[in-house]
Amino acid sequence: MTRWWAIGSVWAAMLVLGAFAQPPGKEEEDTKAKPRKPVPRMEDEAPAEPAGAAPPPGVLVVAVSSLPEFLSPTLARSDSELAALDLLYEGLVRPIADLTAGRQYEAALAGELPTLAPRGREVRIAPAQWVDANGAQRPVTSADVRTTIEKLRARSQQFGGEPGELIEAVYADAEDRCRFLLTRGVPDPLSLLTVKVVPNDRPDDAAFARQPIGSGPFTYAGRRTENGRTYAVFPANPTYGRRPGRANLPRLQAVWMVASRDPVADFRAGRVHFVLTRATGDLASLRSAPAPVDASDSSRPIGRLDVTIGAGRVDSLPSRRIDLLAVNHRDPRLGGSAAAAELRRLIAHAVPREAILTACFRAGFPDHHQALDGPFPPGTWPCSPLAGRLDDPDLARRLADERRGEPVTLELKYPAGEPLVERACQQMQQTLGEYKITLKLAPRPIADFRKQVLLEHDFQLAYWRFDFADEWFDLGAWLDPQRIGPPDRPGNRNFMGYVPSADFGALLARAQSLRDFGELQKAMRQLHLEFGSREMPFIPLWTLDVHVLASSRLRTVPAAPLLDPLKPFLFIDQWTLQ
């Protein structure tokens, strides 16, 4: 099975300057008045960012779109927050970095790989320490593991809590030993033990997330301002390297994160060492001058970004993250009937994915970023080779004709401050108008957007990003109708309110119950076909490659082309900076 890594995300932010009108008439100049600062205009360029600090020796500086604020497994939401979890916390095991060995694991907080036990696994805990920003320490015990799973089970129907549904209980008979009891057999039971363990004596709230306590290779020391720029500072955990098998780790002295409007410029200036970005256009200016290419030579990847940059290298990674239009099935026009399903299919077949990717995201490099033909990233093992393209204007026209030209107006919400996403939504608005579907575009600040869509269910269509947790691509964990939840407990995974048909629901349940990979693949490929031909619970759009800029002085584990963009720091304890 090919291992696919996620993606990323848009890492650049947009600064909007207010425009002011000049009053009519000409004012007399006051020769004694102090010179006035010119009024900024909308078309003016944003002022350059301060230079910030020169990176100290042994300190890795990472450019992010926004500084992390909530650093707990429960409350982390932004890309920088999710990535930082691997700096602070550990699972009992983690996937090995050697991809040639397949899906295997190594001990992390566990002192050794878990052993088989009836209906589960038995784990011995390594002699690790909880360390806070002040250096206070206490041992990690089985009580921490048990409490972590109890908290996970309490939010098992929410995003991130999926493993809690598969772990029935954790029993402990000693401080350094516990046993996991699973609810049922699963194809990869050790994947459940990768959940981040948190201390049992701290409430899982915003206060803890702002001042976290972890056992990982780094601690959190808050924010620091240097030469006009603010950094989130993660010093090395002094106790991490004292554990068996962790001698002299981490090799970095600290990790600093800095918010950057132009991460490519910061990288070229040597102010940062590591960048993840989806913005192909930002990197296009760095590409080497194209050499003459023989059109008959198919071995030359002329459609891919080829960058020459003196300070490091650029690699592009495929993604487990998919971009989509989430559909609120509680709206009778969009869910609950055959007519609603036909409208969803009409929208899905009318969206010109390739044209939008080319106009908005590819920056002239057609081999980057892939249109979706179903719910899974293209080329991954659940994809059926029989599935055709979703872009089908002829089928969309036929579906529109069957509606007898009935016009419909729908609101499309999307996160504000992302110009590429906004442009894509505008193009969808223009195209769908040809099918008598009027989209009212409604940008929302990211915090309001998430609240309105995920918690309040106040949307009709929403530009959403969904991260598959791992390479098992469990679609049922999201679309199971039991995950809709009661109105008084918002935040459950099935926020769209989707209720599958009997046949599709049976397919989802069967895929979740299988342990044999061959049978599982057959079921998942059938899901892929049925998804597009009948159900269309959401509107698949595309998956965006993630570009990695890594300093030539930086050695990552695994190598940069093999990093997981959703978990880039999983092995950061082994990274080195010369």
CA-CA distance, 183 to 181, in Å (whole number)?
Answer: 7
Please write the tens of the pLDDT for every residue from 167-183. 999 999 899 999 999 99
Q: How far is CA 166 from the centre of its chain?
A: 23
Cα–Cα nearest to 280, from 469, 68, 8: 8
**Cβ pair 467, 321 in contact under 8 A:** yes
Taking phi first (over 0 means left), then psi (-120 to 50 degrees means alpha), and beta for anything else, what does residue 52 get? left
Q: What is the pTM of this model?
A: 0.85
- Residue 574 has, within 13 A of its CA and on its CB side, a CA count of 11
Tell me if the bond preceding 558 is cis, omega within 30° of 0.
Answer: yes
Cα–Cα nearest to 191, from 93, 290, 44: 93
pLDDT higher for 451 or 304?
451
Amino acid 425 reads C
Amino acid 285: pLDDT: 64
Amino acid 368 reads H
Alpha-carbon Rg of the chain, whole angstroms?
25
pLDDT higher for 470 or 443?
443
Q: Return mean pLDDT, the chain.
A: 86
Amino acid 66: pLDDT: 94
Helix (H) / strand (E) containing 450: helix 446-450
Instruction: Tell me the C-alpha to C-alpha distance, in Å, between residue 496 and each of 166, 324, 462.
Output: 23, 12, 10
The values of phi and psi at residue 324, to 5°, are -155, 170
Amino acid 155: pLDDT: 87
Amino acid 4: pLDDT: 39
Query: In terms of DSSP bridges, do strands 105-107 and 321-327 run parallel, antiparallel, or are they unpaired?
Result: unpaired
Sign of the alpha-carbon torsion through 332, 337, 339, 344 = positive
- Which two tokens mark 463? 């530009």
- Residue 48 has, within 13 A of its CA and on its CB side, a CA count of 6
Cα–Cα nearest to 208, from 69, 72, 68: 72
Please write the tens of the pLDDT for every residue from 384-407. 999 989 999 999 999 999 987 689
Residues 6+ apart with CB under 8 A from 368: 280, 303, 304, 305, 316, 361, 362, 545
CA-CA distance, 321 to 79, in Å (whole number)?
Answer: 12
Helix (H) / strand (E) containing 446: helix 446-450
Residues 6+ apart with CB under 8 A from 292: none
Amino acid 28: pLDDT: 40
CA-CA distance, 10 to 5, in Å (whole number)?
Answer: 16
- Which two tokens mark 254? 């600290």
- pLDDT over 70 percentage in the chain: 85
Cα angle: 555, vertex 561, 565; to 5 degrees: 95
Amino acid 304: pLDDT: 60
